[in-house]
Structure 1
């Protein structure tokens, strides 16, 4: 079911809904994940995102008489003409009557969270942690700046000093927002202000050849360097008042730069940039302040400080170049990663790559060591070594896949061993694992047993929790494991198979978090193990 909802409304809605549920999801992360989904912006893209983090929910078609039984907030589907529609968030049962759109155009489809919703995904968790660190760093930076301003003002509360400091700090703030916009960063408030002055005006002006500057030094880059140098001189003016007047002298001729900017926006680019106008306003006011206090400024500044000012500005400008290039590189990599993510989530492309690999018989044995749904359309077979570090890392991913998708996938674990050498370290471990698996009745216990093994990979420690099993002969089963490894020509571990064919080389096991819902929804398994688009299956 496709929802014809324009970006970024769909991801904004999803983010706000999860936030309302008390689930911390990074806005950029959910936007990237949803937009990379082949069904974006359909409801299925959000459902697959919820599945990815193990969230319990109910996506169903209901009737209005049941609305008081829903867990709120919910997402309701609103129908439009020509079969199109969109989602809206409903926070209380009363809204169904109070909201005319809900009352008249609700299709009956609703997404309801579990009573105690939770969602967790490692990549998002790491981003949230990084966000917190950045916020602490930003708070510390602001505190340092405020302390520095307080240090300047402690013995000098003259209106000129206060006004100049505020203008300088305003210039730094606007310049940071300007260079961020130039680099393609989306700041909601800035975007709204820019569009209110001139739709897409900021982007048009900042990307014009006039604003690009020379040698990688754009107008925004130069403005930030200028205002940082000016603010630094303001801070140090508490010990040398002449530094304050130096900044004022330098600002005087920049009214010409402000005029050139206005001319370029009006007659060349023919768009207005709200951020550029903000910088122009600061430059104009600073020039006016300098003119009004010219006699005091002229009498106090020192020429040597002018040279120091431009050297400081040049050093700041040079130091910003690698920072700006680094940010550009990161954003380009993120864009490339998103394109790759879209490519990897294309189920038809995956099936094409997968079909190139030779078929290996992975049919289930009696007493197979497996987790999940044995009748599932998607059968994952993992060849691994009980003492293999990469296998342990792979099992952590498998454990999460099993936790999230245990109803729609089956995971077979096949272990390297040598039954002809019963004293071999690997053989002893495999024997203990298989013996334990034969007496465990539930998936949950088997999953925990395997997780403990791959966490410790220490037989003595493991058997303190999972006591040795008596009177269970698994020799025949071990021989099946060993023979299959030989028949499948396993060269290294872990090796991952999906429905008898090896996972394509360009894919990682982690990619299945996003691929499994797409494959389950859009493919069927033919008799020979091939994945085919549903429409092509008999």
Structure 2
């Protein structure tokens, strides 16, 4: 087998499955979502991140093939093709290397083939068993994301089947028309996808030239002004509205009316087919496979129309009821399409921009610059704080918060799991309360402070329980009347923190600092999980 064929499709997911199986962890789709969230996915950094979440140490090195025989296996090797790909290597000899796939099957790659692909970088892992706990909420969210499109397709299919049953049409002619319209709608959907996502791999495969067919290029046809009617509306949009409207007409109106309409429109549209073929053949001198598929449907419906065309059917279209019903269907479909298409296009554009934005803000130089532009506290050590985590930690997170502030609670819900995973991190808490507007806040803050002073070692667990169960946990504290007598002894501590905040003109919560430097607004709170690999805040 060719060495390149050994590199498994969907490489990063496959490597993750191999890692989890090899080290005794249970793979789930949510685990892959965690891996993909890393800003450097797919890379050694992203695999190091997930390995750390599994409780495993790892480090990357640059080495030579001769040294690989002395390096403990297994390890992950980075290979160079047109994208980043990885191999999970279990054994190295002077002549070959052994890789393992997700099913446990071992395959060999010759030294020459491996060296042709390998860039000299490997990721070494310890041999300890792995363990990772994924929140149920994240598992559920991942399942929903996985099934939402299949579920939508299933629901549409069920609805379509139900409408066919209600139609009570058993003639073969009806199903010939239905096949033609569905074929046209399918081709129009593919053209719609091409408009929204120019880099869709499936569309690229349909539109790419193979072998000696170098005159196939959809972009040469679809991306220029001639693909637009009067330079305003693309033929792709017209085709989508056209075939979807015909499908609704075919399913909801009497077959005689639908047949007459399709026959009439098919005869009228044959001129467009001739123009499109002429344009592709003699002007653009390129063929668009998606366009040709639509034209095949038009020709099919035209031939069907010629065979079944009857003038008395055409007269049915002139009835007022038929005109109103058909016009209503076309106008409704057009209106919905005009509204929905920009939403889908904007969502796709937003996803692309978000990916590029993340690539930008996670650049080491840019992240350093963003932090340097933020406020730096020089006297944060002068105020007493609630401290969680390793007191000698290199990274100190300081959160100015209110225990009844919903935004603060949400940030703590994200920070607490990160804190548990980071041995070199501690979290300092500073209260900033609005006692005039929310007098109950002093009760909650005092209760939290009492838990810290009574048992600092278990306070992280106490705080996590409070934020995870909020607002039930808040209401439970407020109903504890006995605790009200203890509040005065905690007020000096809380008031001193408030005074410090006001001195620095901090009036809102939450406010987060990392090693005394304010956390830039360009980042999300969960980004802290990744930023340790990129920044060193001074």
What interval of TM-score do these two structures reach, taking the shorter chain for normalisation?
0.7 to 0.9
- Distance (Å, rounded) in 2 between the aligned partners of 1:418 and 1:206: 59
Gaps of 5+ in 2: 1-6, 19-25, 61-67, 89-99
Q: What are the Cα deviations for residues 225-275 of structure 1, in whole angstroms up to 9, with x where unaligned?
A: 2112222232245x4524313312321232322222222223333332221
Aligned partners of 2:397 and 2:512 also within 8 Å: yes
Report how far residue 328 of structure 1 moved: 2.0
- In the alignment of these two chains, the number of paired residues is 492
1:156 and 2:170 matched? yes
Deviates more, 1:227-236 or 1:14-23: 14-23
Q: Residue 13 of structure 1 aligns with which residue?
A: 11
Give SS of 1:493's match: coil
- Aligned-pair CA distance for 1:219: 0.5
Aligned equivalent of 1:250: 265
Q: Is the contact between residue 51 and residue 57 of structure 2 (CA under 8 Å) also seen in structure 1?
A: no
**Deviation string, structure 1 residues 154-184 (Cα, Å, up to 9, x no partner):** 3432x32221211111111211121121122
Question: Which residues in structure 2 correspond to 1:105-124 (within 5 Å)?
Answer: 109=123, 115=130, 117=132, 119=134
User: Aligned residue for 1:536?
Assistant: none
Give the TM-score, by structure 1 length.
0.75
Which residue of the partner structure matches residue 276 of structure 1? 291
How many Å apart are 1:281 and its aligned residue? 0.9
- 8 Å contact from structure 1 (residues 372, 411) kept in 2: yes
Contact 2:513 2:519 in 1 (8 A): yes
Q: In 2, distance between residues paired with 1:97 and 1:358?
A: 55
CA deviations on 1:105-137 (whole Å, 9 max, x unpaired) are 586635699655555697896575355344333
Match of 1:432 in 2: 447
Greater Cα offset, 441-450 or 491-500: 441-450
- Distance in 1 between the 2:363 and 2:181 partners? 51
**How many Å separate the matches in 2 of 1:138 and 1:397?**
34
2:418 aligned residue: 401
From 201, 205, 218, give the equivalent of 1:202: 218
- Distance in 2 (CA, whole Å) between partners of 1:498 and 1:372 is 14
Q: 1:80 to 1:128 in 2, by over 3 A?
A: closer
- Say whether residues 1:184 and 2:197 are aligned partners: yes
Aligned to 1:43: 44
**TM-score, normalised relative to structure 2:** 0.75
2:399 match: secondary structure: strand
Q: Cα gap change, 1:126/1:445 in structure 2, threshold over 3 Å: closer, same or farther?
A: closer
CA contact 1:19–1:25 (8 Å) conserved in 2 = no
Name stretches of at least 5 consecutive residues in structure 1 with no aligned partner. 1-8, 531-538
Structure 2 distance, partners of 1:160, 1:358, is 74
Distance 1:145 1:356 in 2: 58
Distance 1:281 1:27 in 2: 42
TM-fit CA distance, 1:504: 2.7
The residue that corresponds to 1:230 in the other structure is 246
Matched, 1:458 2:474: yes
| 2:280 equivalent in structure 1 | 265
**In 1, Cα distance between the equivalents of 2:381 and 2:86?**
43
Deviations 1:180-236 (A, max 9, x none): 211226654433222256788233322121113347421011111211222223224
RMSD value over aligned CA atoms?
4.6
Aligned counterparts of 2:483 and 2:464: Cα–Cα separation in 1: 14
Change (3 A) 1:248 1:513: farther
CA distance in 2, matches of 1:298, 1:356: 77
Q: Indicate yes or no: 2:365 matched with 1:348.
A: yes
- The CA distance in 1 between the partners of 2:151 and 2:432, in whole Å, is 49
Mapped to 2, the partners of 1:442 and 1:188 lie a distance apart of: 52
The CA distance in 2 between the partners of 1:116 and 1:399, in whole Å, is 19
Q: 2:355 is matched with which residue? A: 338
Kindly state the Cα deviation for residue 491 of structure 1 after the two structures are TM-superposed: 1.9
